[in-house]
Chain A
Amino acid sequence: MSKANIQELKAKAKELRTDIIDTTVWAGSGHYGGSLSSADILTALYFHFLKVDPDNPDWEDRDRFILSKGHCALGYIPCLSLKGFFPKEGLKNFNHFMSPFGMHPDSLKVKGCDVSTGSLGHGLPIGLGMAIGAKILKKDYKTVVLLGDGECNEGSNYEAMMAAAHYKADNLLAIVDRNGFMIDGRTEDVMSLEPFADKWKAFGWNVIECDGHDMEKLCDALEQAWEHKGEPTVVIAKTIKGKGVSFLEDTVVSHYGAFDSEQAAKAKQDIANS
């Protein structure tokens, strides 16, 4: 794998965050906190790691990606647009009547989207099926699943974690956007996840922890994860909810909301200055 161009990726992430703000305005509202916390991860994946082709979205040998935290389509769909799957212009219709783009991604309508998601705890089992399928079909593509940390309360994840280790699904990579928040508050107040890394280890996973906003460290972690053999890997990326927008960062209210024009301008200014 070629070396990641960190400066380029940082610039792309900035562009993605700006698109997230625009899309929030067009959509009327959205899950901006978790979308902003995922922005560096999405950028690293789509602009360095994932083998995908916007001109051939159904390419058989492409790497697969599942946004298990489907409510963050507000980050994912602008990312697919930035990658070239469809023009940014289309995002102006986000959430509106008959739009292909809703709050949660629909794989039958969104070019480049592999799996429809939205209900939490569904992505890892589906990803495991795709990973086992790759082995049956003797394909060497990767399946990457991006989970939220609050989502890891769902029991179905643990069913899939157990089975992924059992089937030695080393072509499956989970990434947890560990922003520390869920709707009702901090994850450790609502439902403790810690010791979180130990849970994955106990289930037989290779665990890598990293800073989810330091592009260099994030890319290093993903590279290690990509090369790991014999067991599935999870990258627990420590992130900040609302990252890049000063008045949203590390707040519970950043989970979901809307911007007035002044806030949108301030948000974009913050991103430009970051």
Chain B
Amino acid sequence: MAEKIVTGTSWNMYDANTMSAKEIYGRVLKKLAEDNDKIVGVTADLEKSTNIGIFGKAFPDRMINVGIAEQNLFGVAAGLAKVGLIPFASTFAVFAALRAAEQVRTDICYQNLPVKIIATHGGVSFGQAGSTHHCTEDVAIMRSFPNMTVIIPADGAETGRAVEAALNIPGPVYIRVGRGFEPPYHKDNDFNFEVGKGEIIREGTDITIITCGIGVVQSAFASDELKRQDGLSVRVINMHTIKPIDKDIIISAVKETRRIVTIEEHNVIGGLGDAVAAVIAESGKGCSFKKIGLQDEFATVGYPEDLYSHYKLDTSGIVDSVREVMGMEFEADEDWNDEV
């Protein structure tokens, strides 16, 4: 089999379609480290599982494995950053966001240190492992920390771009990816990616789906299905950056479609849906609105695709949710200008 080659910013379809987000992460990090000797890797016995080991193999002297000790992982990362290095710290999302939350907040965010946390196994992507290994609270936690940037890429290609972008952000960054079995949205590397800017991946005028991560490809499919079956014009926004959130793209969607559905692999408390809701509420404009995700519950055990289906995060679930919101009464008066 031919060697799969990732050359940093240049991608090919083979890479985008055959490699997991975390595998692309490991390769991009290795590529970035070839040109930047300040990059170091830190992990807690998850070199293999998070794929940071791809970097570690190439740069063993710059790879620190602290063993199964996540508090130490993020403390050490803070110390490395304090002396001028740029640590990429990888573990499962649940351990980064919960086990070591205080180290991330106090050691890293409070001191505004350039630690890049690449958290794998986010959401219910390790569904069969159960709630101890699910992480459906990380966005709520991470976006509440001042100085933190929070990104959930749609797939591997976008993860590569997010990792590259993270290097140029002066403060801390949290990038959440899955376990590696998620279908990709992007077919190649020919797309715009700017931190803090959502991307309209389907134009539409009847309703807008705002989503991130695995929701992106499913929402795109849902938009296509709804056009075909119902004749609906469904806008889809890939909101890869949850913080800072792209307010303009949300306000435009409210104004132009008056109906919003958010799709997230997260508790509906504190995540993307709430971030979007806050922007809408503060704008003084109204619209029909629904948040799809974990409805304040711990997810059941199961393979991810079954969980995505059960929690309405797959194409047919999103189609159902859109139809539901299309049927919601919002207001009789369609005059946008008479609102505050």
Knowing A133-B84, A162-B67, the reply to whether A128 touches B76 (Cβ < 8 A) is yes
The reply to whether B83 and A134 form a contact with Cβ atoms under 8 Å apart is yes
With both beta carbons as reference points, the residue of chain A lying nearest to B115 in the complex is identified as A129
The reply to whether A159 and B72 form a contact with Cβ atoms under 8 Å apart is yes
With both beta carbons as reference points, the residue of chain B lying nearest to A167 in the complex is identified as B64
How far is it, in angstroms, between the C-alpha of A72 and the C-alpha of B85 when the chains are bound? 28
CB contact between B83 and one of A118, A121, A137, A155 (< 8 Å): that residue:
A137
Knowing A108-B111, A122-B106, the reply to whether A130 touches B72 (Cβ < 8 A) is no
How far is it, in angstroms, between the C-alpha of A69 and the C-alpha of B1 when the chains are bound? 56
Residues on the A chain within 8 Å of B78, using CB: 115, 125-126, 129
Interface readout for B156-191 with A: 1 if CB under 8 Å, 0 if not?
A: 000000000000000000000000000000000000
Residue total for A at the interface (Cβ-Cβ under 8 A): 34
How far is it, in angstroms, between the C-alpha of A69 and the C-alpha of B81 when the chains are bound? 21
B contact patch SS:
helix
The reply to whether B75 and A107 form a contact with Cβ atoms under 8 Å apart is no
The reply to whether A126 and B71 form a contact with Cβ atoms under 8 Å apart is no
B69 at the binding interface (Cβ < 8 Å)? yes
Knowing A107-B111, A115-B111, the reply to whether A129 touches B82 (Cβ < 8 A) is yes
Interface residues of B in 121-179 (CB under 8 A from A): none
B80 at the binding interface (Cβ < 8 Å)? yes
B294 at the binding interface (Cβ < 8 Å)? no
Residues on the B chain within 8 Å of A163, using CB: 66-67, 69, 72, 76
The reply to whether B72 and A125 form a contact with Cβ atoms under 8 Å apart is yes
A contact patch SS:
helix
Residues on the B chain within 8 Å of A108, using CB: 111-112
A156 at the binding interface (Cβ < 8 Å)? yes
The reply to whether B62 and A133 form a contact with Cβ atoms under 8 Å apart is no
The reply to whether A122 and B83 form a contact with Cβ atoms under 8 Å apart is no
How far is it, in angstroms, between the C-alpha of A75 and the C-alpha of B338 when the chains are bound? 61
B302 at the binding interface (Cβ < 8 Å)? no
| Interface range, B side | 20 to 34
Knowing A115-B111, A122-B106, A126-B107, the reply to whether A133 touches B75 (Cβ < 8 A) is no
Knowing A126-B76, A159-B72, the reply to whether A133 touches B107 (Cβ < 8 A) is no
CB contact between A136 and one of B61, B72, B75, B102 (< 8 Å): that residue:
B61
A134: min CB distance to chain B, Å? 7
The reply to whether B77 and A129 form a contact with Cβ atoms under 8 Å apart is yes
Interface readout for A112-129 with B: 1 if CB under 8 Å, 0 if not?
A: 001110110110111111
The reply to whether B69 and A132 form a contact with Cβ atoms under 8 Å apart is no
Residues on the B chain within 8 Å of A126, using CB: 75-76, 78-79, 82, 107
Interface readout for A154-165 with B: 1 if CB under 8 Å, 0 if not?
A: 011001101100
Residues on the A chain within 8 Å of B106, using CB: 116, 118-119, 122
Interface readout for A136-152 with B: 1 if CB under 8 Å, 0 if not?
A: 11010001000000000
With both beta carbons as reference points, the residue of chain A lying nearest to B70 in the complex is identified as A159
With both beta carbons as reference points, the residue of chain A lying nearest to B83 in the complex is identified as A133
> What 20 new A-B contacts, CB under 8 Å, besides A122-B75, A125-B79, A133-B40?
A115-B79, A115-B111, A116-B110, A122-B106, A122-B107, A126-B82, A128-B72, A128-B79, A129-B77, A130-B80, A130-B82, A132-B80, A133-B79, A133-B83, A137-B83, A155-B71, A156-B103, A159-B67, A159-B69, A159-B71
Q: Can you identify 17 A-B contacts, CB atoms within 8 angstroms?
A: A114-B82, A115-B78, A116-B110, A119-B106, A122-B75, A125-B78, A128-B72, A129-B75, A132-B64, A133-B40, A136-B40, A136-B80, A136-B85, A137-B85, A160-B76, A162-B67, A163-B66
A residues bordering B, Cβ < 8 Å?
A: 60, 64, 107-108, 114-116, 118-119, 121-122, 124-134, 136-137, 139, 143, 155-156, 159-160, 162-163, 166-167
